[in-house]
Structure 1
Amino acid sequence: MNASLEQRSNASVQASPDRRIQINTSPNAGEVDFSPLGDHRDDLGQDFAALDLVSVADLLRNGFVYPPHSIYRDVKIAATGFDPQQDMYEHPRFHFAFQAELAHSRPPADAISDDELLAIYNQLLCDSVKRATAGIHSPWLLQSGGKDSTTMAIALAQVRPETQCLTYLGGNEEDEVASAQLVARELGLRHQALVCDPGRAYDRYLAMVPRTPLLTADFAALSYVDLATEIYQNGGDGIIDALGSDQYFGVPLHRQDRILAILARGLRVPKSVFNSRLVSRSFRLCFALATLQMHEFERYFPGSRFSDTEVDELFGQQVAAQSRKRMETFRSDISAAASAEAVRRISLVVGESAHLAKGMYAAKAMSLRLVYPFADPRLRDWIFNDVPNDRLIGPGGVNKVLMRNYIAQHFEQLPYVMSKGCFRFDLRGLARQRFEQVHAFAMQTRALLPGAPRWLEAHHSRLDNKYFASKFYLLAMTLPWLLSRMHPGAAAAVTPDVSAVS
């Protein structure tokens, strides 16, 4: 079956030699224009023939497709670090221009007062928000309660006070709702919270799949789908996302980052170790052993993912090595990086194609505008070049000092700012509620991933461990999208009769 798939894919490329689509997805360039895709299925006859096998392996190994590639062979993306004027098909070149050592001579710490810095920051941020939200009639802020979204809420209260704030409660480990509610209340903004229901979120994803232009499996993608659908159903027409500031503020490494980098050795751990009773019940042991199998650079990407061996077993052929080889595109910048923090910043920019894509694809599917005010070039360039180093990363690795000082003008210590969490999703709940459905998808996509049904069956009893539930999530995101392209025009393709699957 896989040989047939390769033959069909090659035939598609040969039949359409002039079809080369490039899309600029860098948030620094403004809103993404997906119109060059048109109706990909109608143009090519069937999307299945144009699927990029290595990109599917990327998704399973890392949760996203390595830029400049996409899930389609004939579609490339110019993400941050790629010049959209260059040909992404022939030797694409990556260079990230916002490493600390590449900044113009930043002023010394005492060259400008905090009051002046904060006044300029406020003006640039408000101007960015005003420009980004122009034309949005009912704006909604994705408000995590952390530094970035709190800063964004302060600016929105000044220039778009009608904004509705929406906070996602994805698991019982989180504490951001109380912080987000406090921020919204004090600023006079309306606030709602959406509690994660994995079954509801997945149903919304399946409904969205046929309209989703490309594919990512970011671990917050289902949360984003849930939020985007909620905003649409409540009359919103635009989403404000507070991502985008890490690339120029910097990402200091912490103790856990350094330990994981040391552990990531690219070793092969026998499958029997993970199957042992002691290890299979412990998320921490599974995570540590999986880290041993990873490349150091790829360990910076979040979550538990399939190993190279597992990916090859899912495909029934060797594909994982080609996915790992895609790191070579970034090798020059990684080798030139002046510090571990600089390498971490590159990984953040590369992974941005997933972190931002989840919102871009969901917003496109729901016909919502999506804006990233922190990605505004004027704001970015001022912070990167004109703010003293100690207001970016402070002593002891305190990040975003300028942003913290900005928040302190309005609030006392916020719990979520003091102890940063993450954008979580109930992975184990999804596995409990949707196992049979995802297994049915696996049975229907065996032409592409013949090993997926076997993996699901072998690990069904272990999905209460977040390590295995994370891998289930990757299949749950990937399989129905692939199925919808393998059977174009089949309305029921992503809603199989699971009762027919043993």
Structure 2
Amino acid sequence: MAPPVQITMSPYYGDPDFSAVESRAAQASTDLVSVADILRNAFVYPPHSVYEDVKLVTFGFCPQQDMTRTPEFRFKFRNAGEVPEVASTEQDWVGVYHRLLCDAVARSCSNMRAPWQLQSGGKDSTTLAIAIADARPDTVCITYHGGREEDEVASAAQVAKTLGLRHETLVCDPGRAYDRYLAVVGRMPLLTADFALLSYIDLGTEIAAQSGDGMIDGLGADSYFGTPVSRQQRWLAKLAQQMRLPARVSELPLIDRSFELCFVLGSLQMNAIERVFPGSRFTDAEVDNLFGREMAHESKARLALFEKEIASAGSAWEWRDMSMSIAGSAGAFAKGLYAARALSMRAAYPFCDRALREWVHDEVPRRQKVDPDTHVNKLLIRKHIATRFGELPYVRKKGSFRFDLCGLAERRFDVVRNYAQETRELLPGAMPWLDRNRRRLDNKYHASKFYLLAIVLPWLAHRQRTGGAVAMAA
């Protein structure tokens, strides 16, 4: 047996090289515990991957450590947004930030001939667009209109027009996006089911069709600028009690039609750390039913690697930032890295640039990061935006490139069910779950779970067709 492959996979560490895993994918064994991770949390717990013999060094792990032994997780941005109180030297904070961000854009996009920026019209993408207009004015901005829950197109278009950048809009068509995923699923180097993965596949395919060769993504700044904890987030953390309820409790009459009730019941069954991760997912009891045997406990056990470090957090902010960093590395960043690789494109993350991030974390004073009274965050970014714009409508309310989950279930149910039938030996409970819940998929809670199956099942089917082995859990 060949020794395990270890891939350094984080934009904070540089561009990942997937060639080693791609060269041995046909011989690699699918890790069913990792499949359970995805169904429970939408991503695989690092340092694991969907393959048993491929380990990942994500941010917080040391590339020099052996990820197959006893790796240690250490959060790199302790006290983000809280220290230093006073800078050692006074600077033109906005001016230095702009210069460093321009340098970060130039470095991260140096290997791109025709870059496109994923432009939401929000804080991070707007401040990034300002730097892009100076460092890479040949960049095209593109906005993904995911549906009624967001309206960022006007703000994003205004940003691009003011900066002299070309702007395009791609309206979410869930059937088209899913067909595009199926077309490249065999080229995905690894697997994640981040709830924006299909958005990225859709966007990447569109960009490539218009001769673009790279996507510029605005992820990466939250961890070192500091993210205040909202009242709702505190409430959700308390709600997570790790209860073990019947697998079908969310399918009971009246409950099954209410997203809010289903969400509360799902949250009660989660660990507080896992509740921080985005989206509605399968409960432990449901995961065991999908596999036809106990599997959830092996996935949940992987959280122990992170618990000591997270328990050392000095504030609720830091506790949440640490928890989110797990999902960020293995889900948020992974969706772009895997999608770009599958589409033979490149992905750039300027906010992960070492010089920029270390300057913000180590030198920028608290009063430039988070207002201690109002807890408004990213003050320096807001000031940078103010040099070119007035208040943007999307800066006031957070949003994202959402995906039409219910629309996907409506348009591609039969396709996903066929994959469930094809992979029934691995997930014997998938087809019964689909048949039982078909009428409930207009509820986003149930549609979120359908989405996870829609990502996982075709990948498993492709592995079966190509003779991929399966590593059976203990």
Q: Does 1:84 align with 2:72?
A: no
CA deviation string 1:41-99 (max 9, x = no partner): 44x2xx4xx01111000000000000000000000000000101110000111111211
Partner of 1:458: 436
Contact 1:107 1:386 in 2 (8 A): no
Matching of residues 414-425 of structure 1 within 5 Å: 414-425=392-403
Deviations 1:137-157 (A, max 9, x none): 111000011101001100010
1:327 maps to 303
From 350, 366, 374, the counterpart of 2:351: 374
| Equivalent pair of 2:80/2:223 in contact (CA under 8 Å) | no
8 Å CA contact 1:57, 1:311 repeated in 2: yes
Q: How does 1:133-282 map to 2 (within 5 A)?
A: 133-282=109-258
Supply the distance in 1 between the matched residues of 2:417 and 2:31 (Cα, whole angstroms): 22
From 7, 16, 22, the counterpart of 1:32: 16
Q: Tell me the residue number matched to 2:31.
A: 52
SS in 2 for 1:27: coil
What is the Cα deviation at residue 274 of structure 1?
Answer: 1.8
Unaligned 5+ runs, structure 2:
469-474
Alpha carbons 2:81, 2:370 under 8 Å: kept: no
CA distance in 2, matches of 1:148, 1:259: 26
Shift of 1:276: 2.4
Q: How does 1:112-127 map to 2 (within 5 A)?
A: 112=90, 116-127=92-103
Displacement after TM superposition at 1:376 (Å): 0.3
Contact 1:41–1:488 under 8 Å retained in 2:
no
1:500 aligns to what?
none
Q: 1:478 corresponds to which residue?
A: 456
2:143 is paired with a residue whose SS is strand
Task: Decide which structure has greater helix share.
Answer: 1
Q: How many percent of aligned residue pairs carry the same amino acid?
A: 54
1:135: how far off? Answer: 2.6
Which of the residues 358, 363, 371 maps onto 2:335?
358
Q: Aligned-pair distance for 1:21?
A: 0.2
- Closer/same/farther in 2, CA of residues 335 and 102 from structure 1, 3 Å limit: farther
Post-superposition CA distance 1:347-385 (Å, at most 9, x none)? 121011100111101100111111101000100000001
- The aligned counterpart of 2:276 is 300
Q: CA deviation at 1:102?
A: 11
For 2:81 and 2:350, locate their aligned partners in 1 and report how far apart those are by CA, in whole Å. Answer: 23
Matched pairs, number = 466
Alpha-carbon separation, structure 1, partners of 2:315 and 2:147: 35
For the 8 Å contact 2:247–2:285, the answer to whether it is kept is no
In structure 1, C-alpha distance between the alignment counterparts of 2:189 and 2:138, rounded to whole Å: 31
CA contact (8 A) 1:316 1:450 kept: yes
Distance 2:81 2:104 in 1: 24
Amino acid at match of 1:332: K
Task: Output the amino acid matched with 2:414.
Answer: E
Aligned-partner Cα distance in 2 for 1:406–1:101: 19
TM-score (norm 1): 0.91
Query: How far apart are the structure 2 equivalents of 1:76 and 1:273?
Result: 36
1:69 correspondence with 2:51: no
For 2:179 and 2:97, how far apart are their aligned partners in 1?
41
Report the CA distance between 1:422 and its aligned residue.
Answer: 2.2
Q: 1:340 Cα deviation (Å)?
A: 1.4
